[in-house]
Amino acid sequence: MRGMNSFMIKTKARTSFVNIDEEVSRVLLNEGIKEGLVVIFIPHTTAGITINENADPDVLMDMDHVLNEVVPWQNEAYRHAEGNTAAHVKASMMGSSVQVMVENGRLKLGRWQSIFLCEFDGPRTREVWVKGGGV
């Protein structure tokens, strides 16, 4: 396995889905990772990582709508004093990491897929960790 790398992403809204394919691909290039797996991890509890469609922005808008329906921002039952319980729950639903195969130095994603940082408590500056290597 190669060393771990990181990059920063500035989000612009409370909720946003930011395509991070270019940043992850830059790590592959800089590290000379040609084959294997890459792990993309976010060390935050109110943001997540997912892989989903990159062609139709309505998909991301629909995801946001559904997440807000299932986990509304305000709820009398929430006990977390900081007031961002919904962000914590949504981050857990998305997950904190994804793995992607690398072939010929490129992310091996499906035709319509991209990797998204999922912001649920922004705007903020988020760190993303990337580690890749042979399988």
> Torsion angle, CA of 18/109/23/8, rounded to 10 degrees?
50
The pTM assigned to this predicted structure is 0.93
Contact 132, 2 (CB under 8 A): yes
Across the chain, mean pLDDT equals 94
**Residue 4 — φ and ψ, nearest 5°?**
-85, 140
Q: Tens of pLDDT along 78-91?
A: 888 788 899 999 99
pLDDT at residue 1, as a whole number = 46
Structure token digits, residue 68:
């807000």
When the candidates are 2.60.120.460, 1.10.40.30, 3.30.1300.10, 2.40.170.20, the CATH number that belongs to 5-133 is 2.60.120.460
